[in-house]
Every structure is written in C-alpha cells, then in structure tokens.
Chain A
C-alpha cells in the first residue's frame, strides 16, 4: 500500500518536472534575447535555479536596468524561498551535506509538492523527486531554448517580445485567482510601473512596484 502511494508521488513529481520544463524553453530564449550568452543562461538555471527570479533578472536586463536594480528585483523574488526552507526544515530533517543539497532544491514546486502530503515519508519522496525532475528538465529545456533563440536571430521577428509579458502574466495568473488582495496589489503595481517608466531609470519601476504590497498587504 505504502509502496503504491510512493509510486504515485514519484509519478506526480515527474509530471510536475515535465510541465515546468516548458517554462525553461521560454526562459532560455528570452535570456539570450536579453543579451546573455548561452553559457551565462545555462549557469543561471544550474546555479540560481529559481524560475521567477531568473525571468525577472533577464526581464530587467532587457529593459536596460542597472546591476543594482536587476539584482534587487531578482533577490526580492527569491526571498520567498527562505520562507519555504523554514517550512521544509522540520519536515525534511536534513543534516550535513544533504542540507546544502536540499537548499538548492527549495523552490515553489518542490515545496508545494512536499507540503501537499500528510505522511512525512511521502513528503520527503515528493520533495526529492520533484527537485530532481525539475532540475533535470529545467536545465535541459533552458539550454534548448537558449540555443534555439541564438539560431533564430532577431527575437522580435518571431514575436518573442510578446511572449515575455504573456509568460509573466501566466506566472501571475494563479495568484490573481487567489483573492482580492492579490488583485489589488497587482493593479497597484501595474499603475506604479506605468507611471514610473518615463520618470525613472530602467529597473526602478519594477523595484518600486513592491511598494504596492505595503499598501495592499499591511492595511489589512
């Protein structure tokens, strides 16, 4: 019985890995379009390994942001992984070297899959298998997208400039469906960005939009 549910968890984890792989193609392509080399793009996926941050970094680079604005928007998006790690630490009970490996795999999907299981042993199976399958597919598809975009040349010709905002919207959509506060924050952030684009250096509009959280989140 336990063996059977274990197999189910592994199957679910693998399908999450394949689904997330599709994002990797879009990341690889937009990263090369933003001016990063194939090697730099691949290293971001291998080392940073957290989709939202990676997309934000290349998004702000392509907009002409400075090192400071690119880094701060990327790391602000990565800060939620710290919270995930705090949730996972008592569940995974990792020590020694395994803790340093588990840290790299602490992202949206692996956390969600692990927390979805009631049984602690199954939670661990879900975490490690989701991490492994996403790591494999995400890095493979990043490379494919980067090499593909490099071969295609001008990204605008293939409509890639429309893909990037649509991809961000797709990433945002589940949060918009989550509640009113989320929708208010998203609307506020969009307005802040729109107003600041002509007034501030590139990169600042995205960073400044985080103020919308204080307006929407703390007033509750």
Chain B
C-alpha cells in the first residue's frame, strides 16, 4: 500500500467531510435516523479496534500474555476513570515489564 496516497486521501477526505457541513443545507442531511447512526458509528468502530489491536495478528488470533496483561491494567485504570495519560503509561509499563521478566 502506498502510504503517501493514504495520508493525502485521508487528509482530503476528512477536510471534505468537515466542509460539507458548512456548505450543504442542513435539512439535506439532518434526518434523525441518519444523525443517530453517524453518532453511534464511533462506538462500534472503536470497540472493534480495541479487539483487533488486542488479539489480531494479520488473519490469526494471537493471545499475547504481556499485551493482554498491559491492556487489562489499562482497562482497570479506565474503569477507575484515570486520566488518559495514566492509562497509557500503566498499560505500557505492565506490558513492557512482563515482557522483560518473562
């Protein structure tokens, strides 16, 4: 995959999506059902990304101990409503240390 093509089309697409909201008359897109779906899309995509980043290795499921433990520690921090930076550091430290020790 050409990463430059990807970076530039992503950038152009994201900007076009933002600008469209200012240019298109509101009533065209402002249908309650469409609004609801667009608002809920990130929930599904983020949840799938958690799973994929956690256990996918290409087309295989890979249950990596330190990664799962680091994620578990980070998830616990999320549950305790720790700030984002704390979640990131806890997950990295737990996974990194386990990988070093085991």
Interface residues of A (CB under 8 A from B): 19, 22-23, 25-26, 35-37, 40, 43-44, 47-50, 52-53, 55-57, 59-64, 66-67, 70-71, 73-90, 94, 99-100, 102-104, 106, 156-173, 175-176, 181-182, 185-190, 192-194, 197-202, 205-206, 208-214, 216-218
The binding surface of chain A is classed by DSSP as helix
A159 touches B13 (CB 8 A): no
Task: Determine the chain B residues whose CB is within 8 A of the CB of A90 once the complex forms.
Answer: 26
23 A-B residue pairs with Cβ-Cβ distance under 8 Å, sorted by A, are A40-B3, A44-B11, A47-B7, A53-B14, A61-B1, A63-B58, A73-B45, A75-B13, A82-B17, A82-B38, A84-B21, A158-B92, A159-B99, A163-B92, A165-B51, A165-B71, A171-B46, A176-B43, A187-B47, A201-B59, A205-B56, A216-B40, A218-B33
B71 touches A77 (CB 8 A): no
Interface residues of B (CB under 8 A from A): 1-15, 17-22, 24, 26, 29-30, 33, 35-56, 58-61, 64, 66-71, 74-75, 77-78, 83-85, 87-88, 90-97, 99
- Contacts A53-B10, A71-B10 given; does A78 touch B17 at CB 8 Å: yes
